[in-house]
Every structure is written in C-alpha cells, then in structure tokens.
C-alpha cells in the first residue's frame, strides 16, 4: 500500500498518558501523607514543575485530556490529597459542590427529580460539566477511588472533531448548534427563576478558541419547562452531534488511583451505566477548576 494512499492511518485522538514517577512522585506522596489529616481546602501547595508543565501542555496545547497513572496503592485519604495537590498545579478550584465532590450512585433517577446524573448509576451521555450560564469550569478532574463491579467505563471525545465533521457534512445543522439553547438549572447557587436567562450556544468561540457546552438532557428539559419546543432540525442536529461524539470517542476503565483531567471547553465526557458491589460501591471524586490557558 502506498504511504500516501489515505489518511486513515493517522493516529487516533486519545488522552495523554502521564505517569507520575521518580522524585516528583515521592514529593507528591510525602506531601499528601504529611497532610492526610488536613482539610483538602487548606493543603499547603508544593512545586511539581515537570508534571505541571506536562499536564498544562496536554490540556491547553494537546489533546485536552490527560490520564495520570502511578498513584494506585495509596490509601483514600492520601490519594484525595495527592489529587488536590496536583489539581492546584492546574488552576483555582471551584467549590460550588464542595472542593471534592463524590460521584457515587445515590439510588436516585435524574428523570424523576432534578438531580445531576452524577448521582445515579445511569449512562450520562456525552456532555460537558455545568448547565449554568454563570458557571463554566475550565477543567474537570476525576479521581477513581473504587471502580464499579460491572460497567462504569469512562469515555471522552474531542468536541472540535465533531464540529469539523458537522461543518463538512451538514453546515446548516452546525449553524443551528451555534444558536442559544435554554438549559434546565441544576447547579447549586442558581435560582430556578433564572432559567429564562440560562441560555447559551452549544458551539461558540471565546478568547481561547472553541467553547463547547452540551448536556442534551438538560437542554430538552429546559425547553420543555419554558414551553419552547425544539424544532425537528434542532433535534436532528443534536442526533448528528451525538453520533459524531460517539464515533470519535475513546473508552477506558479507570483503576484505583487513576486521575483524569479534561479541558471542559473542548472535550466531552461520558460514562457507561454501572452495577455496584454493594459493600464497595464505585467512587469517583470530581474537582472543578478555573484556569485560563494564558496563565499557564
């Protein structure tokens, strides 16, 4: 086969794999162990210049997704603090849900009450975090403390690829996704009455480039609540977007101690439905950070 015959052999998009190792790992683990009793909001930060540079470069200049390995085998208190120390290298934590928010099945159904899908065992569908116009974290972090008994796979997908494909295949549908959509309000601190104002595009451009904000379920709920039906074209646009996100996605199983950081403006995430071991349920710990690429 000719070397020039096709572009199908181009490397597939994937998150950057980043082991924490050597002296930086020792420094990080020692600092986390020393402060294991300290509230995560009050940890004394440490300098980790190499890993910091690698995480920031992967997030802002690379794939927008990084998987951090090498912290398995630590106990939960130490893992949580090592995670918080690494996160503080990236940006300023956002505490709307608490500094570290436990993603665990609370036995509820997001279709029956207005709760985040993160509190259920359902598949979340591809989305970016936060349905509030007034809150858009730059980075979403997830630490795995315990995986599920079955399922609960992590999935990530680059939104710019979906955008490119939509532009090529159906530019008129992409234009629809650049218009404002109402989102139902579930983020704490945002009053329900503000739903009328809680509208913004799925694809837009900010000072740092693409800003992708998508959570289909809360868009559908939001439009239902204000009695503004989505058009058939808008539904078709979201169907195609979901297809493209799924097609470009990478799936992986997070093991204990693994951390994922995602550029929440450029990379969508999802997780498959899961079944818990009742005595050791799946536990992921989410952090949100603000932090502009220009500050890196």
| Dihedral-angle region of residue 272 (phi above 0 means left; psi in -120 to 50 means alpha; beta otherwise) | beta
Q: Name the residue nearer to Fe ion (CB basis): 82 or 186.
A: 186
Q: Name the residue nearer to Fe ion (CB basis): 43 or 284.
A: 284
Q: Is 263 in the site for Fe ion (CB under 5 A)?
A: no
Residue 253 beta carbon to Fe ion: minimum distance, rounded to whole angstroms: 17
Residue 268 beta carbon to Fe ion: minimum distance, rounded to whole angstroms: 9
Whole-angstrom CA distances from 68 to 55, 65, 81, 208 are 9, 10, 15, 24
What are the phi and psi torsion angles at 189 (to 5°)? 90, -5
247: burial class by Cβ within 10 Å (0-12, 13-18, 19+)?
Answer: exposed
Would the CA dihedral through 281, 263, 62, 161 be positive or negative? positive
| Helix ranges (DSSP H) in the chain | 22-34, 49-56, 76-88, 159-169, 171-177, 216-226, 232-247
- Residues in 204-223 that interact with Fe ion by CB under 5 A: none
Residue 289 beta carbon to Fe ion: minimum distance, rounded to whole angstroms: 14
Residue 286 beta carbon to Fe ion: minimum distance, rounded to whole angstroms: 7
Q: Which residue is nearest to Fe ion (CB)?
A: 129
Q: Name the residue nearer to Fe ion (CB basis): 35 or 132.
A: 132
Q: Name the residue nearer to Fe ion (CB basis): 43 or 121.
A: 121
Tokens representing residue 117 in the block = 């899908």
- Residues in 104-143 that interact with Fe ion by CB under 5 A: 129
Q: Name the residue nearer to Fe ion (CB basis): 66 or 176.
A: 66
Tokens representing residue 145 in the block = 């403390």
Q: Name the residue nearer to Fe ion (CB basis): 126 or 200.
A: 126
| Dihedral-angle region of residue 34 (phi above 0 means left; psi in -120 to 50 means alpha; beta otherwise) | alpha
d(CA 80, CA 233): 45
Residue 222 beta carbon to Fe ion: minimum distance, rounded to whole angstroms: 17
Q: Under rule CB under 5 A, how many of the chain's residues touch Fe ion?
A: 1
Residue 174 beta carbon to Fe ion: minimum distance, rounded to whole angstroms: 23
Residue 116 beta carbon to Fe ion: minimum distance, rounded to whole angstroms: 8
Residue 102 beta carbon to Fe ion: minimum distance, rounded to whole angstroms: 13
d(CA 88, CA 82): 10
d(CA 158, CA 197): 28
Q: Name the residue nearer to Fe ion (CB basis): 160 or 217.
A: 217
Q: Name the residue nearer to Fe ion (CB basis): 129 or 263.
A: 129
Q: Kindly list the residues in this chain that would bind Fe ion in the complex (CB under 5 A).
A: 129
């Amino acid at each position: 086969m000719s070397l020039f015959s096709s572009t199908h052999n181009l490397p597939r998009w994937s998150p950057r794999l980043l082991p924490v190792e050597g002296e930086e790992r020792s420094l990080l683990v020692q600092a986390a162990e020393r402060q294991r009793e300290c509230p995560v909001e009050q940890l004394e930060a440490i300098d980790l210049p190499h890993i910091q540079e690698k995480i920031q470069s992967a997030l802002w200049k690379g794939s927008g997704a990084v998987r951090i390995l090498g912290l398995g085998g630590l106990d939960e208190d130490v893992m949580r603090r090592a995670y918080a120390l690494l996160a503080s290298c990236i940006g300023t934590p956002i505490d709307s849900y608490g500094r570290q928010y436990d993603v665990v099945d609370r036995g509820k159904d997001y279709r029956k009450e207005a709760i985040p899908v993160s509190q259920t065992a359902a598949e979340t569908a591809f989305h970016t975090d936060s349905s509030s116009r007034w809150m858009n974290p730059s980075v979403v972090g997830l630490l795995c403390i315990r995986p599920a008994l079955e399922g609960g796979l992590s999935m990530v997908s680059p939104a710019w690829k979906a955008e490119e494909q939509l532009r090529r295949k159906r530019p008129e549908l992409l234009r629809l996704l650049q218009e404002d959509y109402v989102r139902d309000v579930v983020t704490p601190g945002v009053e329900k009455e503000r739903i009328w104002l809680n509208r913004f595009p799925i694809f837009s451009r900010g000072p740092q480039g693409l800003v992708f904000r998508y959570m289909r379920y809360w868009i559908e709920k939001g439009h239902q609540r204000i009695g503004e039906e989505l058009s058939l074209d808008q539904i078709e646009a979201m169907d195609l977007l979901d297809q493209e996100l799924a097609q470009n996605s990478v799936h992986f199983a997070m093991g204990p101690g693994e951390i994922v950081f995602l550029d929440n403006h450029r990379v969508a995430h999802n997780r498959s439905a899961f079944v818990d071991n009742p005595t050791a349920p799946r536990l992921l710990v989410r952090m949100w950070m603000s932090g502009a690429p220009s500050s890196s």
